[in-house]
Structure 1
Amino acid sequence: MTTLPPFTRQIAHKYLVEKHLSPQDETEFKEQLYRIWFELYARRGSSRPDSSGFEHVFVGETRGGRTVIGFHNWIQLYLQEKLGHIDYKGYSVTANSPQPDEYKHILALQFSWKNGIKPKGSIFIGVSPEFEFALYTLCFLTSPNERVKVQFSFYDVEIVCHHYNQKHIGTTYPVLLRYRNPQ
């Protein structure tokens, strides 16, 4: 029911139980994760359940055949690009986020996929899907305001996490607020 390996799932589960945001029972916790990430719901413009938070964030979707929505996972980006399905348009940087290097693991980018365009998106680069799944689940359950500030060793990041009907992840992705040079 969930893609989290036992160790990562246990850490996230323990924290969420301590905060009274998840059931202590492991089976009930897995059911909670399933509802949040994999239960189908109808996205805007659809009359039937045809989307899930996992599909939107980790796989990607198109809207109206012209716009790419979601698609916030570097592994999916890599695989689709390797198959020739992605036309990578470039990345965005700001004064606080100079050229990518081995320390930078968040990227704002543009690309086309399935005849649609992703005009602006952001993804973690080089992190495990388990890390993203756990981080985004924590943000979804701990923050009703849909934006969570997180500090990593070299970054200040905002995790945007839109709730769909308060029980599903609509979308979630990182936004780099500030990069602190490690040198």
Structure 2
Amino acid sequence: MALNFFKKSRNKKAEDQVSIAMNKEKRYEALVRVWHKDLFRYAYWLTKDRDVAEDLVQETCLRAWRSMDSLLDDKAAKSWLITILRRENARRFERKQLELVDIDDHQIETPTPSGETNIENRWLHKQIMRLAPEYREPLVLQVMAGFSGEEIASILDLNKNTVMTRLFRARSQLKEFMEHQESSTGGQISGRT
């Protein structure tokens, strides 16, 4: 009789573990399916390299899988995943060993513009990259990822008022860059600044 009880108890524990594992897998798959494109878009914006962006998203997903139990509220999943991606991007620079090359061995490519929109997008990206990181990062999170001020504050571990001030200053600086460009080129945005 006691032996039957232990077998049933052991079977119940095994069934529970299988059920938990299946729920974790379904939850993870749902998160990845919903947020993968946003993660890639943000990673690509950060790196401007499709392969690196794909690697970043893959590493983000792997870390998310390993720490699924730490995500208590599925409504916070997007900011949780973006935070993981930001940390993975920072780790990339910690690990990176710069390869020194002789400049004479390589030909310098001059970018050829493929349309006015492409030039404007590159110009805008360049201006955003000129912003100090404390202004650039909240702006990118708001514009590219669609986060609210509160979500950005949570991701960057800042006060919401600080985030709002940084967003205001980022936009003001971009406006100054545009006004300066327009006055120096007669209203035309060029690929050069």
Q: With structure 1 as the length reference, what TM-score do the two structures score?
A: 0.24
Higher strand share: 1
Compare CA radii of gyration and give the structure with the larger one. 2
Taking structure 2 as the reference length, the TM-score comes to: 0.23
